[in-house]
Structure 1
Amino acid sequence: MSSTNTKSYAKVVENGTLAAQEIENLHQSGYTTDQIYVLAHDSDKTSKIAEVAGSREVGMKEEGLFGSFANLFRSRGDELRAKIESLGFTAAEAAFYEKQLDIGKVLVIAVKNDE
């Protein structure tokens, strides 16, 4: 499933290899590394894909100080939903994407910068 809203695009892919291909497609479409995020249920997998494929992880800049601090006390599922919402998605969209991450898929998100 792909979703678009006014600022963000998301695509669920089966694995890290397909995530890297999607990230490359986004780069070729004009998105910069700073505009592309990757999420997997396993944080180590997220880090590895982001590093290899030229994307970012959702961090304090996107979530804010309170959100990042709150994640220390959240379950991984709650943390992932909060990260997805911080990139402009609704709670319902975040819940859908988090369920996809639960079954081993990878989420690639591209965010247009405010101009």
Structure 2
Amino acid sequence: MHKIEVVENGLEATNKTTEFENEGFSKDNIYIFSHDKNRSKDLTDATETGSVGMEEQGVVDSVGNLLRERGDELRSKMQALGLSEMEAVQYEKVLDEGRVVVIATDNQEGPEHLL
């Protein structure tokens, strides 16, 4: 299961992260997406939340992201968290508008099932 919220800025993303934590989600299972790679990294660092990497995506997709356009990379990462292709496309369009997407997942199986 996952919860997804669209927010306008970093402050709202931080507040949403706290809200998700209060609902029982671990910080490691909360992910912040922005179309700007630096903004994503800064928000992830500031909130000490999870980052979608090789563990969640597997080796092939992680390496493939090095060659992808940013939109393709974002959709791939969202799908690795359990979103459908259609959902990933929808939220990537929201990111194109300059907004931020916060995703919390309670993936009990661990990311290994995504490999």
What TM-score comes out, normalization by structure 1 length? 0.90
Which of 41, 48, 53 lines up with 1:47 in the alignment?
Answer: 41
Residues matched between the structures, number: 109
Give 3-state SS (helix, strand or coil) of 2:98's partner. coil
- Alpha-carbon distance between aligned partners in 2 of 1:17 and 1:58, rounded to the nearest angstrom: 21
Percent identity of the aligned residues?
A: 40
Alignment equivalent of 2:97, drawn from 88, 98, 103: 103
Given residue 19 of structure 1, which amino acid in structure 2 is its aligned partner?
Answer: A
Counterpart of 2:108 in structure 1 is 114
Counterpart CA distance in 2 for 1:105 and 1:56 is 19
Aligned Cα RMSD in Å? 1.0
Deviation at 1:54, TM superposition (A): 2.5
- Cα distance, 1:56 vs. partner? 1.5
Give the C-alpha shift of residue 85 in structure 1.
0.5
Is the Cα–Cα contact under 8 Å of residues 81 and 95 in structure 1 kept in the other structure?
yes
Q: Tell me, which stretches of 5 or more residues in structure 1 are unaligned? A: 1-6
Amino acid at match of 2:101: L
Q: What is the TM-score with the length of structure 2 in the denominator? A: 0.90
CA-to-aligned-CA distance 1:96-115 (integer Å, 9 cap, x gap): 00001111110100011325
Structure 2 residue runs without a partner (length 5+): 110-115
Partner secondary structure for residue 73 of structure 1: coil
2:70 to 60, 65, 76: 76
The runs of at least 4 aligned residues of structure 1 exceeding 2 Å deviation read none
SS at match of 2:58: helix
Q: Is the 8 A contact 1:23 1:54 kept in 2?
A: no
Task: Give distance in 1, aligned partners of 2:33 and 2:9.
Answer: 11
Deviation string 1:63-109 (CA, Å, 9 cap, x unpaired) is 11101001111110111010111100111100000001111110100
Aligned to 1:19: 13
Residue 50 of structure 1, CA deviation? 0.9
Confirm or deny that 1:87 pairs with 2:94.
no
The answer to whether the 8 A contact 1:13-1:19 is kept is yes
